Amino acid sequence: MSGTTTAAGEAHLPSPAVPPAFFAGRFAGQVVVVTGSAQGIGEAVARRIAAESGQVVLVDRAELVHQTAASIRVAGGEAASATADLETYAGAEAAIAAAVSAYGRIDVLINNVGGTIWAKPYERYAPEEISREIQRSLFPTLWSCRAALPRMIDQGSGVIVNVSSVATRGVNRVPYAAAKGGVKAITAALALEGAPHGIRVVATAPGGTEAPARKVARGPAPAGKQELAWYQQIVDQTVDSSLLKRYGTLEEQAAAITFLASPEASYITGSVLPVAGGDQG
């Protein structure tokens, strides 16, 4: 069986062809907001929750999110969608307000927005690039939690699942690592504040994940041999750090996120679950 190839051109061991195991009705009666859900992990999570009877609100800054939601409805799921710039508090507040307007409440918030824009040694980052990385991968979680929390407190219940990364211990993306370290800190600290209100706050820390080519790019593609080499160092470390010596799949990431979001994880809060083939980050 042949391996797969990433954008950087390296081959690695294939992921197992295991179909996702859906749990009928697991999210029945629950309103679930999934950010960054136009594509990638967020889309996989939204599709799975809809298949498990959840009322899903897909949020993304790309207009593509409306097509994704429409395809979920065609498949028999219940889904609404909203575009918002979650790097601002106004955008996060508007997205949460749209979810409440659509379904009357918000039971689960899954914060999935983020992603490396550049891959290079830290001394090569321009100051404005560092700021952009932090804006992209920390503030959407910070603002979305702030927007959703008062609604959950009023309800006396709620679940927040943040998506961090094992790249907090990784090469060539220090600003991204700092942002995702902040997501882990939000999870730990907010769990303390949320618990008296019946609110759980948890996170996953994905490792390298195979996905189709992005329809909307996060940032510029590597330009030239040096930038490709820096990106390749990330890929090599990702595979080497995984005990399973491979990338994960979208389905494997979605399975962990949906478990933590579900009532099955009702006694778990303040925890970060690495989903990286044994890499603890």
Catalytic residues: 176
DSSP string, 55-110: EEEEEESSTHHHHHHHHHHHTT-EEEEEE--TTSHHHHHHHHHHHHHHHS---EEE
Three-class secondary structure of residue 6 per DSSP: coil
E strand or H helix at 148: helix 139-155
DSSP classification of residue 118? -
Paired sense of beta strands 4-5 and 11-12, if any:
antiparallel
Three-class secondary structure of residue 268 per DSSP: coil
Please tell me the distance from the alpha carbon of residue 262 to that of residue 249, in angstroms, as a whole number: 20
